[in-house]
Chain A
Amino acid sequence: MKTALKLAYRNLVGAGLRTWLNVIVLSFSFVVIIWLKGILVGWDYQAKSDMTNWEIGGGQYWHEQYDPYDPFTLAESHAPIPQQFSDEIARGDMVPLLMVQGTIYPQGRMQSVAIKGIDPAQDIFLLPTHKLDTVVDAVPAIIGAAMARSLQLAEGDYLTMRWRDAGGTFDATDVVITAIFSSNVPSVEAAQLYIPLETLREMTMMEDEATILTFRDAGAERAAVQGWVHKPKEVLTASVDRIIKTKTAGQSVFYTILLLLAMLAIFDTQVLSIFRRQKEIGTYIALGYTRREVVGLFTVEGAMHSILAALAGALYGIPFLAWQARVGWTIPMDAGDFGMAMAQTLYPIYSAGLVITTVLIVVLITTVVSYWPSRKIAKMNPTEALRGRIQ
């Protein structure tokens, strides 16, 4: 085996430019695959941590009627908070959120919004709710940057808000924007207005009621509560998993094309070297090599392309990937348009598992591709091969 490796190495290096072209193409595949996979892992991590920090905490309890995809349910999605959560809420480890549909009139235009009542003292979410704890001559409200941009609202702006109380009666008052926050989670920003929880409860006559209860600790065992549906973190982030899965499938097409190009080059190289080195093959057999050993020799030679490619890739790939992990990749379009938790700049994350798996897969594929044309050797007549006759 040692001789085979030595021979393979000498043959490869001896082939000169042809070998290095193959190695460069293959090394490019290595770096691009690791980078793209790193971007997806980074996106997955960023999306889930942003959702945790801005929207879902460690998990939630939803009122049994609440369905975020059906606004029809919102009118009925509120109930008194179960007694068993009182301590957790008092400790600040659970945040109740009350939601009602409403309409705001920025500059006299009409815009449907979800009015969310939230405790100004909460610290589970990064929302600047402390800005709601202020004394102003209207109801203090905070909104997301995306909504502020689309409605041309700025801090200190006043607008009229209209809503309906528990009985369905219209009410209206003025609100003042006390803060505008920016997150990477469109679902906490789009058409939503956050006001103090107690104010909303009073406005809607929904004393001590809530629509969603968000808890801090994702690890704790959670019991079923009547009238409320427990939504663990994994369920709430399932949409991210689904989109990452779809993106991975989409990227696979790209990897396949890249690898196909590299493998085509290696396949060609193998076919050519077997054709041109028939005398050498005949000599090996004459020297006592079995046919299988000669096939092995050529396969190792082909597979060694991938080892060299991994080394060459490491040479320029490691500085490139490290630089990317530091500065990230800025998406050349508005990430908010995707409608899901996605930062404008994605920072790739590379794990040892990701690098090792990629290297192993590429080496394995290269080995198979190298072996494929080498099988022909097994059918060769050694005397004819020794004479260098084309078979």
Chain B
Amino acid sequence: MKHKGLEIKIKRAIILLFATAVLPLQAQPPADEILERIDRNLSSENRVFESSMTIHGRRNSRTITSKTYAVGDKRSFTEYLSPPREEGTKMLKLEEQLWIYSPSTDRTIQISGHMLRQSVMGSDLSYEDMMDDRKLTETYNAEVVGTEEIGGRDCWILQLTGKVDDLAYASRRLWVDRERYVPLKEELFAKSGKLLKRSEMSDVVQIEGRWFPRTVFYKDMLKQGSEGTGFRITDIRFNTDIPEYLFSKAALKQ
């Protein structure tokens, strides 16, 4: 009788051990799947959104609002709506090329070479940062390296290491909401491991069935004077009809 009781105890212990070992595995999908689900949330065939970008400087802050039409990750058209100084400025991205139209000079210039690395209107974002939006699954190998709570949400910490050669950032670290599969924080690193940029996402809402962070706060960690740049999406629509003529240089002058 005593022997049987011990057997039951051992069985229970094995079940408990098995459960503790297996359950987290079931709760935590493979890192690549997490990336895929992030891409599903953030990427779309096309999107139209209005946004406001607030650049926090040492002395003051200024806000720039714009409307963007984007198709996939190759084509986008942005028109700046305010402040009056930037109103009417348009930006066209086609594949690897970027043009900017300035209404005050009535000229279109191509942003190329080192100019792509300049900041967009004094923000912590470079033109290149805005252009580089390939899917994470195509460019990085991921590994879950831990968990952490951010803003009351449980997150997985994903360590991303580049799997292609032409990446801007050799590695990234992502804090991904375990429930909604949306990154809430991201750090971008140089090859040497130096932290270059940090972004924090918040105000996550469900739009057309996908979770989307409406506010992103960017900070160039090498720039000390800047207090960072806030980017807030005020309105977004996915998979709508975007007129084809927008993605031509002629549309910049209209």
Contact = CB atoms under 8 A, between A and B. Distances in A.
Interface of A: 70-75, 101, 103, 105, 107-110, 112, 160, 162, 164-165, 167-173
Contacts of A112: 114, 117-118
Given A168-B166, A172-B194, 17 more contacts: A70-B113, A72-B112, A72-B113, A74-B113, A75-B113, A101-B114, A110-B220, A110-B222, A110-B223, A160-B194, A162-B222, A168-B168, A169-B168, A169-B170, A170-B191, A171-B190, A173-B192
Contacts of A107: 224-225
Contacts of A103: 117, 222
A59 B93 CA distance: 41
Given A108-B224, A171-B191, A172-B222, A71 B114 contact: yes
9 contacts: A70-B113, A109-B225, A110-B222, A110-B223, A162-B190, A167-B165, A168-B165, A168-B166, A171-B192
Contacts of A70: 113
Contacts of B222: 103, 105, 108, 110, 160, 162, 172
A165 B167 CA distance: 10
A170 B223 contact: no
Interface string B161-177: 01001111110000000
6 closest Cβ contacts across the A-B interface? Answer: A108-B224, A72-B113, A167-B165, A171-B191, A172-B190, A101-B114
A194 B194 CA distance: 22
B119 interface: yes
Interface in B193-213: 194, 196
B223 A167 contact: no
Contact of A165 (B118, B119, B191): B191
B145 interface: no
Contacts of B167: 167-169
Interface residues on B, range: 20 to 34
B13 interface: no
B112 A105 contact: no
A110 B118 CA distance: 9
Contacts of A75: 113
A308 to B, nearest CB: 60
Contacts of B194: 160, 171-173
Contacts of B225: 107-109
Contact of A172 (B112, B165, B196): B196
Contacts of A165: 191
A71 B115 contact: yes
A112 B117 CA distance: 9
B117 A101 contact: yes
A160 B220 CA distance: 13
Contacts of B190: 162, 169-172
A70 B115 CA distance: 11
B168 A170 contact: yes
Contacts of A172: 190, 192, 194, 196, 222
Nearest to A168: B166
A107 B222 CA distance: 10
Contact of B223 (A74, A109, A164, A173): A109
Given A168-B167, A170-B168, A105 B223 contact: yes
A110 B221 CA distance: 11
A16 to B, nearest CB: 66
Contact of B196 (A72, A162, A168): A162
Nearest to A166: B165
A169 B162 contact: yes
Contacts of A167: 165-167
Interface in B98-153: 112-115, 117-119
Contacts of B166: 167-169
Interface string B31-52: 0000000000000000000000
B177 to A, nearest CB: 27
A173 to B, nearest CB: 6
A101 B196 CA distance: 17
